[in-house]
Amino acid sequence: MHEDRLKNLNAKPISTNGDYVLYWMQQSQRAHYNHALEYAISLANSINVGVVVCLGITEKYPEANLRHFGFMLQGLSETQSFLHERGIKFVIKKGSPPEIALNYARRAAAVVCDRGYLKHQRQWRRYLGKKAKQQVTQVEGDSIVPVEQVSDTREFAARTIRPKIHKLVDIYLQDLCLRKSKKNTLNLEIEGGLNVRNPEQVLSNLSVADDVKPSQRICGGTSVARKKLQYFILSQLQGYANSRNDPASPQCSELSPYLHFGQISPIEIALKVKSSKSGSSQDKEAFLEELLIRRELAINFVFFEKDYDRYSALPDWAKKTLHEHRNDTRPYRYTRKQMENGETHDEAWNAAMREMRETGYMHNYMRMYWGKKILEWTNTPKYGYATALYLNNKYFIDGRDPSSYSNIAWIFGLHDRPWKEREVFGKVRYMNEKGLRRKFDITAYIDRVDRLVENKKTDQ
């Protein structure tokens, strides 16, 4: 494992009388291809103890609702069994994640954690590093190239980050071997622990917002993610470069929910796609442009921009032009509620909203169109931004992710350039219904959403 993935969060020593190495799992919720877990096992083997993994489920997690918790618990249920098979005790508890980690750290020789890039994730890790009495090491395993190695600044656009990532990718895109724990911890006496074998039961005992129901179409878990990856490589990668944009017959991986919850590693995905026999080199390149460049541009944005979830983080040219056009007559105006209910004049937009509301996912091209129309149909750009982010994070399983913040901001000009000036949008890129209908069979897209929602047909 490359040492650039490791960072000590304090200067404290490894304790000589600890019972285990603790891995506090938070971002990388998987038992395979998990750099933090494998590092914890190596460290534990070197001091002759075993590994205990802990995870805290907080009902106060920012913007999380039943849909998000349901997907997460399905994944954790599997992770618990996989860790069990590897002889590793996994304790899951309700409560503040860093406090739970601190509690289990009391008996640990050392603590290992994974890396998350959002404000609260970073704050939790700082707190743990400060409060824990022993060494805390953070291991970065959910980006292909570690964020600080790519750049030391907020990048302007894909074109500026692309050469930096390409220069480094071969150094970090390396296979990860599974280590064997010398000591089994399954019989260690450790208090607490939720049994997540039955995710629905745990879900029914959580006191969380329940206005968004779990998706019937998209199930959580590493095995589902791996099956989707295999299906994608075998039957969708060929032609991805040309067809990925068509929402009527989508040709994409649908792996974003699993990446968001750390149920699959981006490194595993990239290596499998690169080494697959299917797909041309253009198809593979196009896929890596999304998984590696666009996804890690989003990570760069939230890492270097403290206001990544605010309108103020938009580039100055975009804020200026949107301000100049704030009083332009909108062709249509809708309230947030009308939008949320899919009650606009535009059937394609309503179908996209329906797909999002009912299934928790939407095709990338429709996400772009959906967002651009929110900018066009709300009273002010600031309200449009807040509405788009609110809906995005409420309904998408992959919402509340670095890619959520960067892409909602993209609608309003981030990582883009000025275009020809027009009403409402100013110089921000525009999309229209005519263009959408000219390029794709939108009636087929609407029919597809109807079928998905009625659950008559899943894609696979």
What is the contact surface with ligand FAD in residues (CB under 6 A)? 244, 252-256, 259-260, 290-291, 294-295, 298, 364, 367-368, 371, 392, 396, 398-399, 401, 403-404, 407-408, 411
Q: Judged by CB, which is closer to ligand FAD: 295, or 354? A: 295
Question: In the complex with ligand FAD, which residue's Cβ is closer, 371 or 381?
Answer: 371
Our CB check for ligand FAD shows the closer of 24 and 311 to be 311
Nearer to ligand FAD, 36 or 409 (CB): 409
Considering the complex, state which of residue 89 and residue 244 has its C-beta at the smaller distance from ligand FAD. Answer: 244
Decide whether 137 or 253 has the Cβ nearer to ligand FAD.
Answer: 253
Q: Can you tell me which residue has the tokens 């995005």?
A: 392
Tell the smallest beta-carbon distance from residue 67 to ligand FAD (Å): 13
Residues 452 and 406: their CA atoms lie apart, in Å, by 28
Smallest distance from ligand FAD to CB 350, Å: 16
Residues 6+ apart with CB under 8 A from 9: 113, 125, 126, 128, 129, 136, 137, 138
Residue 116 main-chain phi, psi, to 5 deg: -125, 155
Q: State which residue, 74 or 407, has the beta carbon closest to ligand FAD.
A: 407
Q: How far is the CB of 93 from ligand FAD (least distance, A)?
A: 28
DSSP 352-408: HHHHHHHHS---HHHHHHHHHHHHHHSSSHHHHHHHHHHHHHHH-TT-SSHHHHHHH
Nearest distance from residue 51's CB to ligand FAD, in Å?
28
Long-range contacts made by residues 177-180, C-beta under 8 angstroms, separation at least 24? 177/38, 178/32, 178/38, 179/38, 179/41, 179/42, 179/45, 180/41
- Residue 270 beta carbon to ligand FAD: minimum distance, rounded to whole angstroms: 10
21/64 with CB nearer ligand FAD: 64
> Closest approach of Cβ 112 to ligand FAD, in Å?
25
In DSSP notation, 28-44 reads ---SSS-HHHHHHHHHH
Cα separation, 387 vs 337, in Å, equals 10
d(CA 378, CA 457): 34
Exposed / middle / buried, residue 393 (Cβ in 10 Å: 0-12, 13-18, 19+) = buried
Q: What type of residue sits at position 128?
A: L
**Residues 211, 250: contact at Cβ < 8 Å?**
no
CB 402 within 8 Å of CB 300: no
Give the number of residues written for the chain: 460
Min dist CB 258 to ligand FAD, Å, is 8
Q: How far is the CB of 257 from ligand FAD (least distance, A)?
A: 8
> 291: which DSSP letter?
I
